[in-house]
Structure 1
Amino acid sequence: MMAEKSKSLIQRAIASPKVSSRTKQLPSEGLDTAQPTPTTPSIPKDTEIPIERELPEAKKLYITIKPPQNVAILHISEYGENRYSVWGGNLYKNLDRTDPENKPDLSLGKQVAEKVYPDEIKKRMNNFSHVNLELRKWIKHLRDKFGEDLCLVIADYTDFEIPWEMLELSPYQSPNQYIGALITIVRWRKVISVVKDDSLELEFKVDECCGKTVAYLLDTELKGARDEFETLTKLQATIYQSSEDNSIHKFHTHLQCDDADHSFVYISCHGIFKNSPKEMALGSASNNNQQLNLDALRELPLNLVQKSQGIVFINACHSAREQIDPVIRHSYRMGFVELFLAQGARGVIGTLAAVGDIYAAEFACELIKESLISPQLSVAAILKKLRSKAVENLGNNPTEKQLLSLIYRFMYVYYGNPMTVLRLKRRGE
C-alpha cells in the first residue's frame, strides 16, 4: 500500500513520483470517508442477455468474440508519437474512431507525485471530459438503451495512464456524473498465460469465487493496518504480518502451495514503482530484504493462485501500473496485475497511483464488508458502489477530505470478468 495508509486518495504526500508506499498521498489528507446510499447492482447474477453478432475488434483484445448486447468495449490506442484516438464497439451502437489528440497529462501517479491538489485534479478531469464530446455521447446512448445493465470494458493500449473511470458524462450540465460510479466498468489487456502458454480470453458469464482468504499485512509501517487485521480476522483468514519474522517470504511460499480453495488473496503493503519492471516491488519501504519484486514472483509458479483462480487485491501504491521492459523493448507491458492474471487469477484489483494509508485500509474493509452483505453483487459492481458513495458524499461544497476520498477511490481499478462474484468463506465452512 502506499506511504501513509490514510486511504484518502490524494493526500499531500508522495515524496517521489516513482517510489511509494501506501503511506504517500496527495496534497491534503487525513479524514475518513462517509458512506452514502448503496447503488443497484449493474449486472444481476441471473441476468440472461441475448448474444448476437460478432465484434471484430474483440479478437485483437482477446475478448470472447460474441459479447452480450449490454457490453461495450472502449478502445484507446496510440496514434503516432504522444497522440491517441478512441473508438468503441457495441452490438447496438458503435463509436467511430475519433480524430487523434495529444497525450494529456492526467496520470494520477504523476499528479500525486507532483502534489497536485485534489480539487485541481477534479477540474482537469472536468475539462478533459468536456472536450471528449463524441465519447460522452456514445456512452449516454448506451446508458439510455441498457440502463443499469450496461457494462463497459476499457481496453487502453497506451501508457498514458488516463483515469477513464473519472470521465464525466455531462461535466457542466450535471457535474459529478463519473462513469466509474454509474456504470459497471472493467479493464482488460492482452495477458499471456503461464498456465496455458497462450493469451487469456475475457469472457462474460455468471461466475463466483468461493473459498478462504490469505493475506499479507505490512502492519509495522502502515497506518490503518489494525482495521484490516480485525476485518480479516473475522474472516478467519490466514494472515502474515510484517511484525513476524520473514513474513513476506512465508506468504510467498504459501502462494506456491497446491491449495485450490482460496477465493481471495489480499496484499496490503508499500508499492515500489521505478524505471523498469525489474525494479517494481511489494513490501517494506525501508527494508529491501522484506520485499517481493516482480521477478521473484515470476520465478516460481503460484500454485494457489493457479488452482484456486480467485480474486487478488493488491492494496499497494501503483499496483495497477505497468511498464515495458527497457531491455527487450517489446510492447507487452508488465506489472503486478498482468502477473497475477497470467498466473490464473480470475480478477485483480490494483491502484493507479499512491494511496493514503488510512484511506486504503478503509477502502479494503468496505470492499470486504460489501462482499459479505451483498453477495449478489459482482466485484466490479462493488467497486462502482464504493466510488458512488464518494461521489454522493461530495455535496455542493466538498471539503478537502471528501475530494481526497473521491480521487483515491477512483484510483482502484479491476481487471477481469464483470460478472464474477466474490463469496468469502471462513475456514472450516
Structure 2
Amino acid sequence: MSAEPTGPRGLGGAIPLGPGMPARPPAPEPLTAPRPAAVPEHVAESQEAVRLPAAPVDPDARLPAGFAKLSVQRAYGEPGQDAFWLTGHSGELESRLDSEYTRLRPDDLVLHNLRPGSSMPPSEILLGLAEWSQGQDPLVRWINVLRARHGTELQLVVWDDTDYDIPWELLHLTGHQENGLVSGILGALVTVVRWTTVREAGTTPFGAPASCSGQVLGYYAEQMRRDVEVFQEYVHRAHIGTPRTFLTELTRPDLGAGLVYMGCHAEYGDRAHEVRIASVSWSDLNRQAMPALRGGSTLVCLNACESGRLFDNRGRGENALRGFAELFLRKGAGGCIATSGKVGDDIAHLLIRELVGRVCADPDLPVARALREFRASAVARLPDPLTWLDVGSRAYTERQQEILLVLYSFMFLYFGHPLTTLRLRVRAQEVRA
C-alpha cells in the first residue's frame, strides 16, 4: 500500500513526539556564512573562566563499522491518524535516511492480527506487506546502499519508540543485479535486531556485546512443559506450574544463568494492568528484584504470546513505552527474545526447538545471526512465486498454513546487541558401570 505524503505537508503539520527522542525534521538549506566581524586592537580579557552550557551529545552518533540504526518515532497530526517518522544512519555521512514526510501506521498488517479464529488470511498479510514495502522506497534504497557496502556483515538495529507493532523484519527489499543484491525479505537477508529506549538503565545496543554463559533457568506452564526437552543436554533448573519459585531464583546474585527461559502464556493490553505473563502482572514483575540478571551475561527468552509488544504508559503519567522485553533489559539482561503475536502451543514448541537448536549449536554464532538463519530457513520453504489459488480449495488451505508458519517465524524478535552470543553449560555425561 503506497503511503500518502504526510507530515509537514500532509498530516496537518504533524510533529514527532512520543516515548523516544523526537525524530529530527529535514535539515534546512544551509545559510550563507556571515562575514567575520572586525576585532578591535585592544580587547579586555576576562580573568575568570566562563562556564558554557552543556551541549547534548548523541552517544550513538558514531556506530561501529557495519552497524546501522533505523529510528522509528511517533508523530502526532490529525486526530485518529497514527503516524511515524523514520531516520537512519550508519556513521557514514553519505548514508543517511531522513523522512521528508510522516508515514501512516499499517494497522492491517501487524502480526498480532493472526489470532485463532481470525478472518485475516495469512497470505493477505504477506502480500499486503509486499505492497506496503513499495511505498517505503527511500527506506528500501537506504538499506540496499548498506547491503551493497557491507554485504552479509551488515547489522541493522531497528530502534522503535512506538507501540505500532510494525513488522520491520518483513519489509520486502528489491534486488540490484549490478551490486549483487538479491530481492527478498529483510529479516531473512540482513541481521536485524530490535531496541527501544530503556530509560532508567540508559543502555544501548552499540556498546560491547554480551557473552551470555552458564546454566538454564526455566519456567514452564503445565501445558508447555514439553519445552523442557529442548534443554535436556544442558545444566537446567526447571520450574513447572507456579512461577513463584522461579521468580525467587531471580533474586540470587550468584545464580549463574546464561539463559532465563519462560514457556507460558502472556496477555497484552493497552494499559499496564492488562499486561501479564504466567499470570503475573507487568507491575508485579516490575517490582521484582532480579540481581541474577545484573552484569549483562544472561539472555532472556520469552516463548509467550505477544511478550514482545510494548504499551504506552501515559495512563500512569509517564511518557514512556513499557513491556516485558524493556523490563528485562532494564533489569540487566544481556538480550531478550520475545514474540510479537500469538503462536499456538504445538507450533511454538516446534519453532522454539529449532530456534534454540540454532542458537546453541554454535556458541560463537551471534544470537541475532542465528535468528536470521532461522527466518531464512522458513522463507526458503515457501514456493516462489506464490501462485494464485482458488479460495476454499484444499491447496489454498494448505498454502495458508505454509505462509502462517513463515509469519510465525518472524514473530520472534530479538532485543539486544547484534553480536551477543550464548554458551550454555553442558550436562556431564553419566558414566555407566
Q: TM-score range by the shorter chain?
A: 0.7 to 0.9
The Cα offsets for residues 249-280 of structure 1, whole Å up to 9 and x where unpaired, read as: 11111111222511100000001112311221
Conserved in 2, the CA contact under 8 Å of 1:206 and 1:420?
A: yes
Question: What's 1:213 paired with?
Answer: 216
**Candidates 353, 356, 367, aligned match of 1:379:** 367
**Candidates 177, 180, 192, aligned match of 1:185:** 192
Deviation at 1:192, TM superposition (A): 2.8
**Cα distance, 1:59–1:75 mapped onto 2, change above 3 Å:** farther
Paired residue type of 1:186: V
- TM-score between the two structures when normalised by the length of structure 1: 0.76
The Cα offsets for residues 12-58 of structure 1, whole Å up to 9 and x where unpaired, read as: xxxxxxxxxxxxxxxxxxxxxxxxxxxxxxxxxxxxxxxxxxxxxx9
Q: Aligned-residue CA RMSD in angstroms? A: 2.4
Question: What's 1:402 paired with?
Answer: 402
Show the 5 A alignment for 1:12-23.
none
**Cα distance, 1:405–1:338 mapped onto 2, change above 3 Å:** same
Question: What's 2:412 paired with?
Answer: 412
2:115 match: secondary structure: helix
1:73 match: secondary structure: strand
Conserved in 2, the CA contact under 8 Å of 1:376 and 1:421?
A: yes
Question: What's 1:256 paired with?
Answer: 251
Aligned length: 351
Deviation at 1:358, TM superposition (A): 1.8
The Cα offsets for residues 330-368 of structure 1, whole Å up to 9 and x where unpaired, read as: 221111001100110010011111112122112221222
Conserved in 2, the CA contact under 8 Å of 1:265 and 1:313?
A: yes
Deviation at 1:375, TM superposition (A): 2.1
Question: What's 2:171 paired with?
Answer: 167
Q: Does residue 158 in structure 1 map to residue 146 in structure 2?
A: no
Paired residue type of 1:98: E
**Candidates 265, 274, 282, aligned match of 1:270:** 265
Conserved in 2, the CA contact under 8 Å of 1:64 and 1:202?
A: no
**Cα distance, 1:335–1:207 mapped onto 2, change above 3 Å:** closer
Conserved in 2, the CA contact under 8 Å of 1:237 and 1:426?
A: no
**Cα distance, 1:95–1:177 mapped onto 2, change above 3 Å:** same
Whole-angstrom distance in 2 between the partners of 1:294 and 1:80:
27
Question: What's 1:89 paired with?
Answer: 89
Paired residue type of 2:205: L
Conserved in 2, the CA contact under 8 Å of 1:204 and 1:418?
A: no
**Cα distance, 1:175–1:64 mapped onto 2, change above 3 Å:** closer
Whole-angstrom distance in 2 between the partners of 1:262 and 1:108:
31
Percent of aligned pairs sharing the same letter: 28
Deviation at 1:308, TM superposition (A): 6.1
Paired residue type of 2:413: V
Q: Which consecutive residues of structure 2, in runs of 5 or more, have no partner in the other structure?
A: 1-55, 387-397
Deviation at 1:200, TM superposition (A): 1.6
Show the 5 A alignment for 1:20-419.
64-81=60-77, 82-92=82-92, 93-105=95-107, 106-112=109-115, 114-170=118-174, 177-193=184-200, 198-218=201-221, 220-222=222-224, 225-226=225-226, 228-242=227-241, 247-283=242-278, 291-307=279-295, 309-396=297-384, 397=386, 399-419=399-419
Paired residue type of 2:102: P
The Cα offsets for residues 306-325 of structure 1, whole Å up to 9 and x where unpaired, read as: 25631000110110111122
- TM-score between the two structures when normalised by the length of structure 2: 0.76
1:134 match: secondary structure: helix
**Cα distance, 1:103–1:389 mapped onto 2, change above 3 Å:** same
1:221 match: secondary structure: helix
Whole-angstrom distance in 2 between the partners of 1:355 and 1:130:
28
Paired residue type of 2:195: W
Whole-angstrom distance in 1 between the partners of 2:410 and 2:182:
16
Q: Which consecutive residues of structure 1, in runs of 5 or more, have no partner in the other structure?
A: 1-57, 284-290
Conserved in 2, the CA contact under 8 Å of 1:305 and 1:343?
A: yes
Whole-angstrom distance in 2 between the partners of 1:362 and 1:402:
14
1:298 match: secondary structure: helix
Deviation at 1:329, TM superposition (A): 3.6
The Cα offsets for residues 378-415 of structure 1, whole Å up to 9 and x where unpaired, read as: 01101101000001111235833321111001111111
Paired residue type of 2:115: V
Conserved in 2, the CA contact under 8 Å of 1:371 and 1:424?
A: no
Whole-angstrom distance in 2 between the partners of 1:59 and 1:128:
35
2:193 match: secondary structure: strand
Paired residue type of 1:78: R
